[in-house]
Structures are given as structure tokens and as C-alpha cells.
């Protein structure tokens, strides 16, 4: 457990030293538990998520970084690869493509990229994915913008 704490404290120091425009906040949810983190992503520019702030819950397994963290959205998100009710995220690096080279910050940035570039062929939200699959980009953007205004414009 000491090595995981050392790694997580280093990641926290690195995130504070090198802030990014996309990742508004990253750190432990409380001082008492270093295995539960919170992140806030800024909605990607030039997407229907722009202007939104999206909170993520990060559960770090005791086998980290050998095993990937579990990330889920706390803020409701309308996205083909995010389950609207649970916040579960379908992203290969959170499952089969995980590598210990990833950090919590880089994993959050990968989720940020996913927001801007959905993959409708592996949906957790079939309604959003079907809009993209049938070529209704306007409908998709309108739906996502509505949910972003409703749930993420106040910070999540």
C-alpha cells in the first residue's frame, strides 16, 4: 500500500504543478481516503459540451497502477459512450487497453477526448448513438447541448 500511496501523491503533485485547461480539478475526494478521487473536466471547445463542467468519480484499486482506475461521471452526461444513469464510461483504456504508464490525469484527459470524439459503435447510451449512426448530427448536438445546459452549466 505504501508504493500506491507514493505513486498517487506524486501524481497529485504533478497535476498541481502542471494544470491543464481541460482538467479543472483533480485530487482525493477527502484527506481520509487516497483511493477515491474527484476530477472536474471542462467541456471540449467547439462541441455541444462547451461551457459545461463535468465531475468524475475516480475509484483507485489497491492494485493500481497494474489495474486501471474506475471512472464514472457524477454529472449526468448525454454521450453515446456514457451510461446516462450510472455515469459508467465505455473507453478501452479503462478496460483492455490499460497500461501502468497512464496516470489519473492522463486518463481524465482521455475521457475529455472521448467527449469530443464519441464512438457510436460501442454505445452505453443507444439513443445518442443512434442519432449519430443515422447521420442526425444536428439532433445529436441539440440533445447534448440541452443536457449540458440542464446538468453541467452550474459546474456539475
Report whether 71 contacts 58 (CB < 8 A). Answer: yes
Looking at residue 156, what is its pLDDT? 40
Q: What end-to-end distance do the CA atoms of the chain give, in Å?
A: 32
Q: For residue 87, is it left (φ>0), alpha (ψ between -120 and 50) or beta? A: left
- Residue 47: what are its φ and ψ, rounded to 5°? -130, 165
Please choose, from the candidates 65, 69, 95, the residue with its C-alpha nearest in 3D space to the C-alpha of residue 81.
95
Looking at residue 101, what is its pLDDT? 96
Looking at residue 155, what is its pLDDT? 43
* Segment-wise mean pLDDT, segments of 10 residues, the chain, 156 residues: 89 92 95 94 97 98 97 98 97 96 97 96 95 96 97 71
Residues 6+ apart with CB under 8 A from 150: 76
Beta partners for residue 55, in sequence order? 40
| Cell output for 86 | 450510472
Name the pTM for this structure: 0.94
Beta partners for residue 23, in sequence order? 41
Looking at residue 154, what is its pLDDT? 63
Report whether 116 contacts 47 (CB < 8 A). Answer: yes
Q: Rounded to an integer, what distance in angstroms lies between the CA atom of residue 130 and that of residue 63?
A: 37
**Ordered domains of the chain (ranges, CATH):** 2-151 (3.10.110.10)
Q: Active site includes 134?
A: no
Indicate which residue of 90, 108, 126, 134 is catalytic.
90
Amino acid at each position: 500500500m505504501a508504493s500506491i500511496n507514493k505513486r498517487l501523491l506524486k501524481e497529485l503533485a504533478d497535476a498541481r504543478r502542471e494544470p491543464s485547461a481541460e482538467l479543472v480539478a483533480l485530487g482525493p475526494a477527502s484527506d481520509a481516503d487516497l483511493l477515491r478521487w474527484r476530477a472536474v473536466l471542462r467541456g471540449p471547445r467547439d462541441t455541444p459540451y462547451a461551457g459545461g463542467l463535468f465531475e468524475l468519480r475516480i475509484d483507485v484499486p489497491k492494485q493500481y497502477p497494474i489495474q486501471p482506475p474506475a471512472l464514472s461521471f457524477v454529472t449526468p452526461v448525454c454521450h453515446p459512450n456514457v451510461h446516462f444513469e450510472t455515469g459508467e464510461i465505455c473507453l478501452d483504456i479503462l478496460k483492455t487497453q490499460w497500461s501502468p504508464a497512464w496516470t489519473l490525469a492522463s486518463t481524465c484527459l482521455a475521457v475529455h477526448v472521448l467527449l469530443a470524439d464519441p464512438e457510436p459503435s460501442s454505445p452505453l447510451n443507444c439513443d445518442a448513438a443512434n442519432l449519430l449512426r443515422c447521420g442526425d448530427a444536428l439532433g445529436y448536438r441539440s440533445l447534448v447541448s440541452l443536457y449540458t445546459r440542464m446538468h453541467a452549466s452550474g459546474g456539475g
